[in-house]
Structure 1
């Protein structure tokens, strides 16, 4: 009968057990085997793993204050609201402690150390510490040591500024610094950290598929290409929200203005008109936001299908007319040459005779057999006679 009220408790090396009697803490059981008689069923036992390091009872702080016997096994750490803690166990970084947090640790679990970092002095994390935190896997929300009322967040905001880029660091919405190429980390507790990066190399933007009406109301699709470079990143950031979007729309409007005041014939005739006009319209606007326009050019002009057919007909007619003019010019020139030759031969019997012989030669080439009677004079009289 008494066997059922005998309680045997085994405590492993990595455990501690709190023994309560009538809900009052009476002892902390360390490694070993224990036997207790609980005739009135007054004893309760709560087990804790030392590998968790932290004494995680719901009423941990109250228990620590009420029972000196428990305080012998625990140690307490407290951070202010402007401090973040680096939590080391046996010399190894184990995690990051959120500002204002309180930690109650098992003394026997490990050799603990908490390094406090003031967030008021500097929120930048040096490169060696950033590497150590990442190596320990401590820059994660689930590794953050915090209470339930403290919102979980990634302790450090990490940024990488690429080569030939410039980063603008904003803390709580205020521009704090320019960052050159490199890797950076900043504590996010109590601060809103943001980094905007800008490519300071020459960049090529394509303004594609613009449907625009010319002055004579012909619909054109024009693709434009522009080369730009950011010269002053702070001015660009303070002037517009999105630099590339602003440049894109500015070029769009300039292109529409340039095309809208010229007829299709004028646009096709002057290939550089659009380039020069667009550049003149946008250069000053872009300079005001710290951006220079290096070059701008039309990639292609696309006409509607029916307009292409009409233009092809016009070109075909123009070429036909040009060919007809050339043909008439050559005919006129040939006729004039014949007229001049006739005048010369009219006053020169010898030349006339030579021309008759030339004609006779051409006739003879087409005849297989030729019988001549009466001499060459009779042949000439009967066959060829000029004049």
Structure 2
């Protein structure tokens, strides 16, 4: 009896004869004589897969309870190691499901151990530090399964409403303080400029003269006035 196995694109087949691994099969159609029904093929994905871990509850370093979600992208890099850890008398989809359950549990513990080292306020301020979540350490744990984590990051964090309100008030206070500081700096700079200007005008005859002209112009705008500019004795002698 001849058996036909289809290995889809982006997958790799593992041929077992009498429940013993024999060889790998590339994508394509493969036919084998199997008189005693002793051949079976398991296919594993060659591409990366996304796994979402949602609604995890944890305590921060300052004992604030909150929930978070994260995602990871993993890839089977060693099919031989991978298959040694799972029961192979089921469909591939069930094998992958069991593998993802193990990956999920291991990664949850890993991420929680990282997040619990931060105070609740630090989790907001130092979000960038969480990027990657030390995936190298997680990969050391998963290497025995022939699995590698390519990407790992937090998706979102949800704090209780009361804590969110406190964060909001704290942020508002910080913004207000920053605005007040900028206003104070502007006031100091303006005062310094005015002081320098007054010092400059105090000993400058030309500036005083122009100030006097400006004052005369303002007075003249309000009605008819007679102004005498200069030494009065010199003006009298000139008229004579």
- TM-score per shorter chain, which class? 0.7 to 0.9
Equivalence for 1:208: 54
- Supply the distance in 2 between the matched residues of 1:244 and 1:309 (Cα, whole angstroms): 37
Q: Deviations over 1:54-80 (max 9, x none)?
A: xxxxxxxxxxxxxxxxxxxxxxxxxxx
The answer as to whether partners of 1:171 and 1:193 remain within 8 angstroms in 2 is yes
Q: 1:374 aligns with which of 207, 222, 226?
A: 226
**Alignment pair present for 1:269 and 2:125:** yes
Q: Deviations over 1:206-245 (max 9, x none)?
A: 2222222211122333222222211111210112453222
Q: 1:232 aligns with which of 78, 95, 102?
A: 78
The answer as to whether partners of 1:211 and 1:221 remain within 8 angstroms in 2 is yes
Written as runs of structure 1 = structure 2, the 5 A alignment for 1:1-387 is: 125-127=2-4, 160-170=6-16, 173-183=19-29, 195-240=41-86, 242-358=98-214, 363=218, 370-375=222-227
Structure 1 window deviating more from structure 2 (338-347 vs 264-273): it is 264-273
Task: Please report how far the alpha carbon of residue 260 of structure 1 lies from its aligned counterpart in structure 2 after TM superposition.
Answer: 0.9
CA distance 1:181–1:307, change in 2 (3 Å): same
Q: Secondary structure at the match of 1:253?
A: helix
Task: Please report how far the alpha carbon of residue 177 of structure 1 lies from its aligned counterpart in structure 2 after TM superposition.
Answer: 4.4
Q: Output the aligned Cα RMSD.
A: 3.0
* Structure with bigger gyration radius: 1
Structure 1 window deviating more from structure 2 (199-208 vs 174-183): it is 174-183
Equivalence for 1:43: none
- Supply the distance in 2 between the matched residues of 1:224 and 1:359 (Cα, whole angstroms): 72
Q: Which runs of 5+ in 2 are unaligned?
A: 88-97, 230-240
CA distance 1:356–1:335, change in 2 (3 Å): farther
TM-score, normalised via structure 2 length: 0.76
- Supply the distance in 1 between the matched residues of 2:70 and 2:106 (Cα, whole angstroms): 12
Q: Deviations over 1:230-275 (max 9, x none)?
A: 1111210112453222222221111111101122233333334323
The answer as to whether partners of 2:12 and 2:25 remain within 8 angstroms in 1 is yes
The structure, 1 or 2, with the larger RCO (C-alpha pairs under 8 Å, 6+ apart) is 2
- Supply the distance in 2 between the matched residues of 1:184 and 1:249 (Cα, whole angstroms): 37
CA distance 1:272–1:321, change in 2 (3 Å): closer
The answer as to whether partners of 1:237 and 1:243 remain within 8 angstroms in 2 is no
The answer as to whether partners of 2:55 and 2:69 remain within 8 angstroms in 1 is yes
The answer as to whether partners of 2:133 and 2:152 remain within 8 angstroms in 1 is no
- Supply the distance in 2 between the matched residues of 1:254 and 1:201 (Cα, whole angstroms): 24
- Supply the distance in 2 between the matched residues of 1:173 and 1:370 (Cα, whole angstroms): 113
Residues paired across the two proteins, number:
219
